[in-house]
Amino acid sequence: MLRCDLNVPIDNGVISDDGRIRASLPTIKYLVDQGAKVIICSHLGRPDGARVEKYSLRHVAKRLAELLGQPVSFSEDCVGKEAIDRVSRLENKGVLLLENLRFHAAETSDSENERRKFARELAELADMYVGDGFGVLHRKQASVYELPKLLPSAAGYLVEKELSVLEQLVRSDSHPYTVVLGGSKVSDKLGVISALLPRVDNLLIGGGMVFTFLAARGYKVGKSLLEESEIETVKGYLDQAKALGVNIVLPTDIVMASKFATDAEHLVAQVAELEQTSFGANGIGLDIGPVSAEVFAEIVSTSKLCFWNGPMGVFEFESFSKGTRSIAEALTTVQGLGVVGGGDSAAAVRALGFEDSAFGHISTGGGASLEYLEGKSLPGLEVLE
């Protein structure tokens, strides 16, 4: 039983970034080469225990077969009669993908008993467990945490590779060490900010979360994303950074838009004047401005160690993708280790046309890599033998 993280973005049956599938191949191929019957399980999205067609792993099975160059059979359910049947028909070197684990509420249940019961059903299908779903190791879920306790277990090659890179980020004393954080929510990043402040030289902030930082500095941000309840915490970080001599860099200009849309009217405003554009207090900040993008890129490209998590703006909309593109470009020129951390940032660099090989490493896990950098233990890793 191989637990992968095949949680890829799918739109109308089309996989827009197959990075997590490709990253899972080395372990699958190894197991096939050893003559194993390989049963793969994964989650996709957050269907909350219901069978939701758009979260089916069926399309993933097809793509996996193409990438592996061998047939991949598919079971419409991850446990029960069909799964048992499919497993019994599996030959040595055969590969079977089970339907989304999260179609069963027990996978993500808060009740340990429910998770254990579900894990027992999964365990009956297999003789051994290999944990290779790096992106989900931070979740205490049945297939990640309870299942490996029921079978002899091992970590896969993706987990090994991800950890070796993250360990370099934690252990290395290369400087300057720069961390770039973006994405929409500050509240998701609080842990990592406080854990990293004592270690980094530069902390660059962009994306939706930047408006809470700008508000903490006293700026008005119009209708941009704002987490008012976090303003005080962010003020604390700004003070702490000052005391530690860490350079927290906020943008000085922002791309303001009339609305959240790909064809929105937009213009560049200084951070002190975000409500003084023609959009007034209704303007929404959707990207860092060009001057800020240049300043950020310069700091990134002259770093010896750099970790980036979270887009700088709404990169899916061409007009608001430039900040993210600048960071990605700069990261490819780092003379040292440059790491793209996470699902969204990884999808962003590929959507913007960058090659994986241009970066030191593209992590397949956002939450998992952040939690590791925070110094938290990952439940799915703890339990592997």
Binding site for ligand 3PG (CB under 6 A): 5, 7, 46, 135-136, 139, 343, 366-367
Comparing CB distances to ligand 3PG, the nearer of 216 and 340 is 340
Cis peptide upstream of residue 9 (ω within 30 degrees of 0): no
Range 355-384, binding Mg ion (CB under 5 A): 367
- Exactly one of 207, 208, 289, 367 is catalytic; which is it? 367
- Please confirm, yes or no, whether 20 is among the known catalytic residues: yes
Extract the tokens encoding 80. 């029960």
Minimum CB separation from ligand 3PG for residue 3, in Å?
A: 11
Answer with the entry of Mg ion, ligand 3PG, none that 136 interacts with (C-beta below 5 to 8 A by kind). Answer: ligand 3PG
Answer with the entry of ligand 3PG, Mg ion, none that 116 interacts with (C-beta below 5 to 8 A by kind). Answer: none
Q: Largest alpha-carbon pair distance within the chain?
A: 68
Strand, helix or coil at 338? strand
- Contact in structure between 255 and 211 (CB atoms under 8 Å): no
Minimum CB separation from ligand 3PG for residue 342, in Å?
A: 7
Cα distances from 105 to residues 51, 142, 245, 346, 378, in angstroms, run 10, 10, 47, 28, 22
- Please confirm, yes or no, whether 139 is among the known catalytic residues: no
Which DSSP string do the residues of 22-84 spell out, in sequence order? HHHHHHHHHHHHTT--EEEE---S--TTS--GGG-SHHHHHHHHHHHTS-EEEESSSSHHHHH
- Exactly one of 51, 58, 185, 199 is catalytic; which is it? 185
Comparing CB distances to ligand 3PG, the nearer of 310 and 343 is 343
Minimum CB separation from ligand 3PG for residue 326, in Å?
A: 25
Task: Please enumerate in sequence order all residues whose Cβ is within 8 A of that of 379, keeping only pairs 6 or more positions apart, or say none.
Answer: 137, 138, 139, 140, 144, 145
Answer with the entry of ligand 3PG, Mg ion, none that 208 interacts with (C-beta below 5 to 8 A by kind). Answer: none
Comparing CB distances to Mg ion, the nearer of 183 and 289 is 183
In our burial notation (b when 16+ CB lie closer than 10 A, e otherwise), range 200-215 reads bbbbbbbbbbbbbbbb
- Contact in structure between 277 and 338 (CB atoms under 8 Å): no
- Please confirm, yes or no, whether 367 is among the known catalytic residues: yes
The DSSP bridge partners found for residue 18 are none
Answer with the entry of Mg ion, ligand 3PG, none that 135 interacts with (C-beta below 5 to 8 A by kind). Answer: ligand 3PG
Q: Please tell me the count of residues contacting Mg ion according to CB under 5 A.
A: 1
Minimum CB separation from ligand 3PG for residue 200, in Å?
A: 23
Comparing CB distances to ligand 3PG, the nearer of 216 and 378 is 378
Residue with tokens 């929409």: 184
Residue with tokens 């030191």: 360
Minimum CB separation from Mg ion for residue 366, in Å?
A: 5
Comparing CB distances to Mg ion, the nearer of 341 and 367 is 367
- Contact in structure between 372 and 164 (CB atoms under 8 Å): no
**312-351 mask for Mg ion (x: CB under 5 A)?**
----------------------------------------
Comparing CB distances to ligand 3PG, the nearer of 7 and 301 is 7
Comparing CB distances to ligand 3PG, the nearer of 48 and 385 is 48
- Please confirm, yes or no, whether 343 is among the known catalytic residues: yes
Strand, helix or coil at 108? helix
Which DSSP string do the residues of 176-229 spell out, in sequence order? SEEEEE-SS-STTTHHHHHHHTTT-SEEEE-STTHHHHHHHTT---TTS---GG
Minimum CB separation from Mg ion for residue 343, in Å?
A: 6
Task: Please enumerate in sequence order all residues whose Cβ is within 8 A of that of 171, keeping only pairs 6 or more positions apart, or say none.
Answer: none
Minimum CB separation from Mg ion for residue 238, in Å?
A: 27
Catalytic residues: 20, 185, 343, 367
Question: Which residues are at the interface with Mg ion (CB under 5 A)?
Answer: 367
